[in-house]
A = this chain, B = another copy of it.
Amino acid sequence: MLEAQDRVGGRTLNHTFEDGTAIEIGGQWVGPTQDRLYALAAELGVEHYPTWDEGENLLHRDGRLIRYTGESFGLPPHVIAELGLAQWRLDRLARSVPLEAPWSAPKADRLDGETAASWIRRNVRTALGRAFMRVVIEAVFSAEPEDISMLHFLFYLHSGGSLDLLTRTGGGAQESRFVGGSQLVSIRLAERLGDQVVRLGRPVRAIGQGEGGTVVSGEWGSLEAGEVVVAVAPAVIGRIAFDPPLSGRRTHLYAKMPPGYVIKCSARYERPFWRDAGLSGQAGSATHPLAVTFDNTPDGYEGGVLMGFLEGAHGRRASALTAAARRDLVLDGFATYFGEQAREPLEYVDQDWAEEEWIRGGYGAHLGPGTWTHYGHLLREPEGRIHWAGAETSAVWNGYMDGAIRSGERAAAEILAAGAA
């Protein structure tokens, strides 16, 4: 197991505050139907607890804060009705997209021929409804509706169950968190495998394959292997020199799977003061760059942690700021939603996943228009002795930790089957 970085975990990463409290600055949640992640965590003794989900949520709109609970999202009834209809259409269409072969969905060419943005424009008519859908898509994909093929949007909904399941906290993909932080799953697994198996700081620069096997090499030396599993993010696969070179078609597939843009931002406070005001810490805004926030206080911690995402264009703009200006922008978001106290945290940390040289973006890659129908069949197709894993290759929970585990199991099964044949 050759890892480019000096740590395991990929797009999961713990951060330890000065007082020893660990939070996640990468992927973190686990929820219903993510059975493979639950199973692996249980096997490794990593426990989980419910994400904080008590109190009222906030919608920030036209400079006002609207408190709500339940399904209303603080929106007016006609917008709720419109969004409800759109969601019904989306989930119905999503169910028609076969997870193993999205290109064979009814009207796949047409759906893959447009962006989620143009579909929403036709199917959601109010400015508020459109703005809300944009925030939801940015929160789910860390990419903008114009980036994403409508077919990919539908596949992704189906892959994770439904729009509701993807966006919910309780009962959805944000339902639970891991004790000690999600990276602990990878850390424990690496400990079990040991240093002889898991080699850190070994960027793979070249993979050659011939009749007899493969040679994987880098500045650190080289290794021989019968079969190779490549499980890096699609955006960085092109940095590996393959011999023979990858086919033009596969190169184009990865050229059409750009990563999302997200900066995940966390602030630690002496107390979770927003809870005193009856607030859940969950806020959404169509105008403030910090469009989505959560109470990310670990279970049993006496302090408080607010977390928010700078997604898509907001993330790119914030990445061009100085660290201090970015901190101010984020704290302004927290203060707008939860009060002036939020401007003075004990600690602040943010993580820009596009700046990670061996990852280049989070949460994961999305498929632009025309990609599933033209290149999708290559996603899991081995090239000789090279197999492809990673969250983006999974049919179920694509883009999530659970999908990453499933992809590893699938790649392992491929190799075992090849050995048996």
Contact = CB atoms under 8 A, between A and B. Distances in A.
Interface of A: 110, 112-115, 117-118, 121, 144-147, 149, 235-236, 238-239, 241, 245, 247-249, 251-252, 255-256, 258-259, 261, 312-313, 316, 319-320, 352-357, 360-361, 368-370, 374-375
B145 A247 contact: no
A311 to B, nearest CB: 12
A238 B115 CA distance: 26
Nearest to A352: B248
A117 B145 CA distance: 16
A313 B374 contact: yes
B144 A370 contact: yes
A368 B316 CA distance: 17
22 contacts: A113-B115, A113-B118, A113-B145, A113-B146, A114-B117, A114-B118, A114-B121, A117-B370, A144-B370, A144-B374, A147-B369, A238-B238, A247-B319, A247-B355, A248-B319, A248-B354, A248-B356, A249-B354, A251-B354, A251-B360, A252-B259, A312-B374
Contacts of A374: 144, 312-313, 316
Contacts of A248: 261, 316, 319, 352-356, 360-361
A203 to B, nearest CB: 9
A258 B261 contact: no
A360 B255 contact: yes
A146 B112 contact: yes
A122 to B, nearest CB: 9
B245 A357 contact: yes
Nearest to A114: B118
Contacts of A360: 248, 251-252, 255
Given A146-B370, A252-B354, 10 more contacts: A113-B121, A114-B117, A114-B118, A147-B369, A235-B238, A236-B238, A238-B239, A248-B261, A249-B320, A252-B316
A357 B244 CA distance: 10
A230 to B, nearest CB: 16
B258 A235 contact: no
A182 to B, nearest CB: 22
Contact of A249 (B238, B319, B369): B319
Contact of A115 (B115, B256, B316, B320): B115
B256 A258 contact: yes
Nearest to A312: B374
A375 B370 CA distance: 21
A147 B259 contact: no
A152 B304 CA distance: 46
A138 to B, nearest CB: 12
Contacts of A252: 258-259, 261, 316, 354, 360-361
A114 B113 contact: no
Contact of A113 (B117, B256, B355): B117
A243 to B, nearest CB: 10
A255 B409 CA distance: 28
A52 to B, nearest CB: 30
Contacts of A147: 256, 368-370
Contacts of A247: 319, 354-355
A121 B353 CA distance: 37
